[in-house]
Amino acid sequence: MEQNKDERFPLEHLKLLVEGQLPWEDTKKALRLRPKDTGRFWKYLEVLQERVSWKDKILMRISDHLYIVAKPDGRRVVKCDCGQEFGDYRINWKLSCRIRVRNTVEEMNEVFSIEEGVPDPSKIEVREFYCPGCYAQVAVELVPLGYPPLMEMLPDLDTFYREWLGKPLADERPDWFQDRTVEAPARWAKEG
């Protein structure tokens, strides 16, 4: 009902916040609201959905450009705002990126401005991950040589929607919350 609508943090402010345009004073107010406005997550999803050109339902935003979305065929995949898809969200999406590796002092110097901060390329490499669709940089990691790509986030979506939002997803399944990244290289090996 209209009188129950919580307007202490209006949708317009949320839109500005997502754009990075909300003045700091209003941002602080939103952070300090007690109790928090109800339904903020749903409003946030609504704002995100308006910003993308595709229709797949956003379940969660996982970085500036990437979302976990529900596909009409029942899959949950990682998708870039440009529309590029990275496959099943349980497989580290970094494996579907274009990757640039910096492993020499010269290459490190191009991106580190303080000499003392340049990693030792005999121990560390810098990996830059790019979306193959729009070439946005979607991640950077500094890791020991040969270290497996870091899985940045594997959310337990079913628990989040059921326990925290109180609105369970219709396709709940125990095997959604599983890191299946090793399946990708196994498939590549089979495909030769």
Tell me whether residue 27 or residue 137 sits nearer to Zn ion (CB atom): 137
User: Which region, judged by CB under 5 A, interacts with Zn ion, from 6-14, 27-35, 38-46, 84-92?
Assistant: 84-92
Size of the site for Zn ion (CB under 5 A): 6
User: Which region, judged by CB under 5 A, interacts with Zn ion, from 3-11, 26-34, 109-117, 127-135?
Assistant: 127-135
165 makes contact with Zn ion (CB under 5 A) = no
Three-state SS across the chain?
CHHHCCCCCCHHHHHHHHHCCCCHHHHHHHHHCCCCCCCHHHHHHHHHHHHCCCCCEEEEECCCCEEEEECCCCCEEEEECCCCEEEECCCCHHHHCEEEEECCHHHHHCCCCCHHHCCCCCCEEEEEEECCCCCCEEEEEEEECCCCCCCCCCCCHHHHHHHHCCCCCCCCCHHHCCCCCCHHHHHHHHHC
133 makes contact with Zn ion (CB under 5 A) = yes
82 makes contact with Zn ion (CB under 5 A) = yes
Residues 108, 131, 154, 157: which binds Zn ion (CB under 5 A)? 131
User: Which region, judged by CB under 5 A, interacts with Zn ion, from 87-95, 132-140, 150-158, 169-177?
Assistant: 132-140
134 makes contact with Zn ion (CB under 5 A) = yes
Least Å distance between CB 7 and Zn ion? Answer: 35
* Residue ranges binding Zn ion (CB under 5 A): 80, 82, 84, 131, 133-134
